[in-house]
């Protein structure tokens, strides 16, 4: 049997060499963070390298689209009346939970099995106009989608909002896009879909096709 020779103490790296390698690795990580990650994700470019590589512009577009979508949704929510919660006793709350839980479980089963459901719709956006459409989906459900723009391009934000409220998750944002297709997989129970805005000077028409496991497609 062949045995690998055990290295001698002299062949092993010294403590100083290990420390040097660790420091170099940390420096490399910081350089990547400052010159690539921060400009591309957050439009923060302290060195100017990100703008030379056009990464800062990508980050600025992401931040702008996210801010526009959030501002529009907040505006729409403020225009809707806030429902007043009903006052119920502790006993009524427990009874309600017994009734609601089986219903929610049944809804999950029905939606998860609805793989053949599909919809098509046409949306017209005037200049500067925005619109949001979402699919009601359960966690793990998947939908195939395809949308195209006629007459121009749009900015969009594909995102999801948890059922019952909570922090919104942005899946993808882009600017000046004429079409998009792929698979939208729900990471949680809730509504998942797109916010489009026409930043051009002429009206555009969006044609959306979806097929998969969802219970409803509606305008928000």
Q: pLDDT grade, residue 100 (50/70/90)?
A: very low
Contact 184, 145 (CB under 8 A): yes
Phi, psi of 205 (to 5 degrees): -120, 125
Residue 64 to residues 25, 58, 92, 171, Cα–Cα distance (Å): 33, 10, 46, 15
pTM equals: 0.51
Is residue 83 predicted with pLDDT exceeding 70?
no
The pLDDT tens digits for 191-218 are 999 999 999 999 999 999 999 999 999 9
Instruction: For 115-219, give the CATH class.
Output: mainly beta
Burial class (CB in 10 A: 0-12, 13-18, 19+), 67: exposed
**What pLDDT does residue 43 have?**
74
Average pLDDT over residues 20-38: 82
User: What residues are paired with 150 via a beta bridge?
Assistant: 205
Q: pLDDT grade, residue 165 (50/70/90)?
A: confident
Average pLDDT over residues 173-178: 94
Domain ranges of the chain: 15-77, 115-219
């Amino acid at each position: 049997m062949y045995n690998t020779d055990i290295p001698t103490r002299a062949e092993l790296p010294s403590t100083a060499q290990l420390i040097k390698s660790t420091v170099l690795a940390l420096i490399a990580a910081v350089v990547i963070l400052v010159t690539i990650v921060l400009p591309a994700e957050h439009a923060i470019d302290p060195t100017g390298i990100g703008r030379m590589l056009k990464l800062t512009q990508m980050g600025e577009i992401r931040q702008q689209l996210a801010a526009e979508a959030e501002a529009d949704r907040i505006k729409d929510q403020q225009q809707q009346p806030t429902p007043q919660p009903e006052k119920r006793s502790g006993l009524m709350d427990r009874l309600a939970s017994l009734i609601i839980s089986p219903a929610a479980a049944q809804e999950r089963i029905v939606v998860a099995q609805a793989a053949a459901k599909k919809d098509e719709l046409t949306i017209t956006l005037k200049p500067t106009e925005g619109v949001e459409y979402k699919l009601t989906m359960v966690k793990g459900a998947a939908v195939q989608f395809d949308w195209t723009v006629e007459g121009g391009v749009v900015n969009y934000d594909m995102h999801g909002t948890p059922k019952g409220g909570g922090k919104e998750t942005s899946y993808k944002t882009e600017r000046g896009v004429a079409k998009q297709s792929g698979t939208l997989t729900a990471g949680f129970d809730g509504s998942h879909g797109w916010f489009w805005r026409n930043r051009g000077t002429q009206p555009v028409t969006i044609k959306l096709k979806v097929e998969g496991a969802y219970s409803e497609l509606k305008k928000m």
